[in-house]
Structure 1
Amino acid sequence: MSAAHRLARRVLSVALAGSRSPWGAAVVAELDQVTGTWAVLRWTAGGLRVAWRERRGVRLTTAAALVAAVALATFTVRPIPSGAMAPTLGIGDHALVDRLTFRLTGIDRGDVIVLRAPTGTGDWFTTVDRVIGVGGDTISCTGGRVHRNGTPLEEPYTHGTTTDCSPVTVPAGTFYVLGDNRDSARDSRHYGPQPAANVDGRVIL
């Protein structure tokens, strides 16, 4: 075996290590039948192309799997569990929920969130509500309208429904939430502002 053959075999063995393709094995096995230095170089180049195509396929498959895993961890489609947000969201409607990035970007006033809320009897229930106040805000109701820091809110999503609530200053790290369906929603008027740890996601679609 010539020096060119030995070098070519070493290069191809490294490049095709772990190859599942029969072409990869054939490239190495039939190398000894190739004669001439230039022919060996051409044969080696062909083997490296096989290795590149396989590696590229593995890289693309791995990248696609990673993207899918991140998407599944970040977003989920959930059915709306109650009528608290009607008519904006009806019972059984499906919403795309961001379960990850909101932890980095934060929750703001007006966001619609998925929340684990206390029942008052030691249990929890899942609800979807709108964030009305964040830490430091003062929430009150006058004449059926919600006021935040003394300013009445424009809330077209309630479709003219009146709102009654007790004045409260929202503690730091918590959110004051109300359902759009003010007549029947069970929200912060009942269980108070809720900590950020109870937020399970932000509705984005």
Structure 2
Amino acid sequence: METKNSSQTSAASEKPKRSELREFIEMIITTLIMALFGITFVIRSVNVPTGSMNNTIYSGDFLLVNKFIFGYEGGVPLDGFTPHRPIRRGDIIVFKFPQSEDQNYVKRVIGLPGETIEIRGQRVYINGQELPETRVIAESDLEDSGRLSILEEHPTAGAQWKVYYRPGSDFEYETQDAEPLPELPLPSGRYRDYKNEPHYGIGRPFKIPEGCYFAMGDNRDNSLDSRYWGPVPRDYVIGRPLFVYASFDPNPQASLGERLGSFFSKGRWKRLGSLVK
């Protein structure tokens, strides 16, 4: 017995050990595969170049996006396989811009499929009932061009998010019944060109088509959104932003080198890890 155990121990000790280099290469390959899977199916990175969502999201924020929460990118839910839920009012979504699918937009869902929406000045009505929103009067921040400086705030009972307006913008739109409404999405999913003035839901009711969502920016006086080009088809929704993983004060006039340098000199380090809600 001793001779047998001794021979087994000797044989085991003679087995070749995996080199540290091989283990390192295997670890790198596994990490790359997992990262590729995550980028393809689970997460996406989005940079916000404009101020349409200030101050919820700053211009210059880099966001990590959850692509699984609403099902996969094609819009068909994966019941029983992935943790997902329907799109709700108030959700901030990342979607392909209906008029140019190579551009990603970030807005908040205000109206759901089948609902009737109407915007009267600073107030939004869903099926004839005013939507509770906390209205904030703000202006551009002199120290950071990517955010707004708050002047006054008007809390509203039941409001779950804030919307921002410039001083003096609390006018009421006149009813536009005499003006023809732009066409809804064509069968191909594309939209006709929009003009410089808002049309959808402005001063008169607009029924949101089934399978579409009415999305608006929180910075209401500086947002090109569904008021201009119509509702967002469900198939165009990519996902929901989770948090800010990088942020700096952008300067569109600066060169690439200057913008890279500003990442360190103008980095908003306190924004890192901020949840988007």
TM-score (norm 2): 0.50
**Gap runs ≥5 in structure 1:** 1-34
- Alpha-carbon RMSD across the aligned residues, in angstroms, is 3.4
| CA displacement 1:86-137 (0-9 Å, x = unmatched) | 2222222111212344224232211111222244xx7874321101112122
Q: Which residue of 2 aligns with 1:110?
A: 90
Q: Is the 8 A contact 2:217 2:223 kept in 1?
A: yes
The one of 190, 193, 196 aligned to 2:231: 193
Structure index of larger Rg: 1
Decide which moves more: 37-46 or 55-64: 55-64
- Displacement of 1:177 after TM fit? 0.4
Aligned residue pairs total: 167
Q: Is the 8 A contact 2:98 2:236 kept in 1?
A: no
Q: Distance in 1 between matches of 2:34 and 2:5?
A: 43
Q: Distance in 1 between matches of 2:25 and 2:222?
A: 54
Q: Which residue of 1 aligns with 2:54?
A: 86
Q: Which residue of 2 aligns with 1:172?
A: 210
The one of 210, 220, 226 aligned to 1:182: 220
Q: Distance in 2 between matches of 1:124 and 1:69?
A: 20
The one of 37, 40, 45 aligned to 1:70: 37
TM-score (norm 1): 0.65
Q: Is the 8 A contact 2:98 2:232 kept in 1?
A: no
| Aligned residue type for 2:231 | P
| Aligned residue type for 2:46 | R
| Aligned residue type for 1:190 | Y
Q: Distance in 2 between matches of 1:82 and 1:108?
A: 24
Q: Distance in 2 between matches of 1:116 and 1:59?
A: 36
- Displacement of 1:72 after TM fit? 2.3
* 1:140 counterpart = 2:118: yes
Q: Distance in 1 between matches of 2:36 and 2:101?
A: 32
The 1:118/1:70 distance shift into structure 2, 3 A limit, reads closer
The 1:43/1:60 distance shift into structure 2, 3 A limit, reads farther
Decide which moves more: 153-162 or 58-67: 58-67
Q: Which residue of 1 aligns with 2:8?
A: 41
Q: Which residue of 2 aligns with 1:151?
A: 129
Q: Distance in 2 between matches of 1:139 and 1:190?
A: 14
Q: Give SS of 1:90's match.
A: coil
The 1:101/1:39 distance shift into structure 2, 3 A limit, reads same
Q: Which residue of 2 aligns with 1:14?
A: none
- The structure carrying a bigger helix percent of its residues is 1
Question: More relative contact order in 1 or in 2 (CA 8 Å, sep 6+)?
Answer: 2
- Displacement of 1:143 after TM fit? 5.5
Q: Is the 8 A contact 1:84 1:127 kept in 2?
A: no
State the percentage of identical aligned residues. 31
- Displacement of 1:202 after TM fit? 1.6
- Displacement of 1:78 after TM fit? 1.8
